Chains A and B, each alone.
Chain A
Amino acid sequence: MDSISTSTNIFLFWVIIIFSLVVVFLSNNFLISESLYYNTFAEQLTAEKIDGLIDQTQKWSWLGYVIVPIIYFFKFSLIALILLTGFFFINKTVSFSVLFKAVMLAELPFLFLPLIKLFWFLFVQTNYTFNDLQYFYPLSALQLFDVKSLAIWQIYPLQLLNVFEMVYWGLLAYWLKRLLNITLTKSMEMVIASYGTGLLLWVVFVTFLSLNAT
Chain B
Amino acid sequence: MPHKTMKKQLIITIIACILALLTYFGFQIYKKIEAKKVFAEQVKRLPKSTNFQWIGKQAPNNDAKTIILFFNPDCDHCQYEAKAILEHKSDFTTTNFWWVTTVDSSAINDFSKKHHLDKLSKHYFAKLPVEKVVETFGSVSVPHIFNYDKTGVLQKEFRGETKIEALLKYVHPN
Contacts and interface: CB of A to CB of B under 8 A. Distances in A.
Q: Is the interface of A mostly helix, strand, loop or mixed?
A: helix
Interface stretch (A39-47, A133-141, A180-188): A39-47
Interface in A84-120: 85, 89, 91
Given A44-B160, A89-B7, A201 B29 contact: no
Contacts of B139: 214
Interface in A175-214: 197, 200-201, 204-205, 207-208, 211-212, 214
B87 to A, nearest CB: 12
A208 B25 contact: yes
Contact of B163 (A46, A151, A207): A46
B38 interface: no
A49 interface: yes
Contacts of A43: 166
A44 B22 CA distance: 39
Interface residues of B, number: 21
Contacts of B158: 44
A189 to B, nearest CB: 15
Sorting the interface of chain A by its residue count into under 10, 10 to 19, 20 to 34 or 35 or more gives 20 to 34
B102 interface: no
B163 A208 contact: no
Contacts of B134: none
Contacts of B25: 204-205, 207-208
Contacts of A200: 22
A85 B158 CA distance: 47
B29 A44 contact: no
A119 B76 CA distance: 39
Interface of A: 43-46, 49, 85, 89, 91, 151, 153, 197, 200-201, 204-205, 207-208, 211-212, 214
B134 to A, nearest CB: 12
A44 B58 CA distance: 30
Contacts of A212: 32
8 contacts: A44-B160, A49-B161, A49-B163, A151-B36, A197-B18, A207-B25, A208-B29, A208-B32
A45 B163 contact: yes
B21 interface: yes
Q: Which 8 A-B pairs have the closest CB atoms?
A: A46-B163, A211-B32, A204-B25, A208-B25, A44-B162, A44-B166, A208-B29, A89-B11
A185 B161 CA distance: 55
Interface string B4-38: 00010011001000100110011011001100100
A110 to B, nearest CB: 25
A76 B32 CA distance: 32
A124 B112 CA distance: 51
A200 B25 CA distance: 11
Contact of B29 (A46, A211, A214): A211
